[in-house]
Each structure stands twice: as C-alpha cells, then as structure tokens.
Amino acid sequence: MKTHQRVNLWSSPRNISTALLYAFAQRGDTCVLDEPLYAHYLLHQPTTAEHPGAEEVLASQENDGTRVISQLSKADYGSPVLVCKQMTHHLVGLPRDFLARMDNVLLIRDPREILASFSKVVTGVTELDVGLPQQAALFDYLEQMDQPPPVVDARRLLLAPAATLQRLCQRLRLEYDPAMLHWPAGPKPYDGSWAPYWYAGVHASTGFLPYRAKPIYLSPTLSDIAERCRPVYERLLHYAI
C-alpha cells in the first residue's frame, strides 16, 4: 500500500457512489471526502440544470477548484488513504495533470436508471449532467497516460458486493476489509451539505441493498438523452471489474 494514497471515485450522478464512499469509510486506514469539487462545479457548470441546496454548497466548500486540487494533493488528512467521492462532470474547466499522482476509479450506471432518478430532483437535465460522456473522456485520458482506471458498474456491485469490492481493492493495491460491506444507518459527519436533498435512501441503509430491476418511465427528451449515452455506457461496461 502507498503512503498517503489518494483515490478518486469518479461517478455519474444518482449512482451508488455515496454507498461506496460509506464502504470505504469503514476501513481503519481510510478517511473520506464527499464531492469536494461540487462548489467549483456550481460556479462553472455548462448547463442550466438547477441543483437543490446550491447556495448551501457554495457556502460550505472552497469554491476555487484549483485550490481544492492542491489541498487534495498535499494536505495531511491523518490517514494513510484518502478516498474522495467525485462527480466526473465536476472537473469542468480544471487541469487534469493532478490525476497522474492519484488512483482513479470510474463508477458507472445504466443511463436510463440514472435519468429516472436524477430527473426527480434536478430539472433541465442534459447529457452533460449525466456525466457519462465525461467519464469516457476521463477513461481515455487516463489510458493514454498508461493508467487505465478500474471501472465499477453499479448493478454488478449490488449483485456481488464482496467479490466486486475485493477486485477493486486488489486493483488499488489495498487489502480488502470485510467491514466495507456494512455501515451504521443515519447521516454521517462527512456527508456534504446537500445530503438532505439526496441521501434519504442511503441513510436508511446499513449496507449494499440487493439489486432489483424497476420499471423505468422517461419522457421523450430524457429517453433521447439515455440513447445518446448508451454507447458510452456499454463501452465502459466492457472494462467493468
């Protein structure tokens, strides 16, 4: 294991990224951060999607993304491993060279499932808000640096949590800890200020819930977005661990 290892979990929205962050938080060697680039994104987002609690986010976080990146790279967080839940689209307008000094993971989900959930909370959604195009670009960037990231698919993780986490830890050169499978219910001290708007389900959980396919009904506009994102999702799914 590296000393002062930094891990970014680059997710699409309305994935199981918070549950995965909670899993890593149960490790004795790890501290976690919840979407440290969210405030930066809100100041620079290229779409008109309206995010609930935006003013609270801007007041609770450093707004300058370059300062956040510098802190993530240099600050001592008191644990050998720092794991950051990140939304891939939050990288807007930022240099990516810092990624070479960190470990990176892509967390993907079927775009129809993303949109069915995301559109209930955020209005004016576009494919840029879904994050899959940015995930493909990030995968290509890291692969060109000879650092292809492990890809975790939400459905596969829920179908086999222990096996998937074991493979992920192996790729990250971390010893697997079975404590990652369970966490206490309720809010966490490391939740972002946006938790009241998004985290009701994960706060009620004490572990990864079994995957259950649900009927999905999308408007024609959202269906079109899902279809444009599907080739990207299927391409990345090919690399899923």
pLDDT digits (tens, 9 = 90+) for 95-144: 999 999 999 999 999 999 999 888 887 778 888 888 899 999 999 999 99
- What is the reported pTM? 0.93
Q: Are 192 and 34 in contact (CB under 8 A)?
A: yes
The pLDDT score that the predictor gives to residue 90 is 94
Q: Which of 238, 226, 239 is nearest to 12 (CA)?
A: 226
Cα 35 to the center of its chain, rounded Å: 8
Cα 182 to the center of its chain, rounded Å: 19
The pLDDT score that the predictor gives to residue 14 is 84
Q: How many domains does the chain have?
A: 1
The pLDDT score that the predictor gives to residue 75 is 79
Ranges of the chain with pLDDT below 70:
1-3
DSSP element (H, E) containing 103? strand 103-108
* Coil, helix or strand at residue 86: strand
**44/73 Cα distance (integer angstroms):** 22
The pLDDT score that the predictor gives to residue 1 is 45
The pLDDT score that the predictor gives to residue 3 is 59
* Coil, helix or strand at residue 2: coil
CATH number for position 52: 3.40.50
The pLDDT score that the predictor gives to residue 131 is 85
The boundaries of the domain holding residue 170 are: 5-237
DSSP string for 140-193: HHHHHTT-PPPEEEHHHHHHSHHHHHHHHHHHTT----GGGGB--SS--TT--T
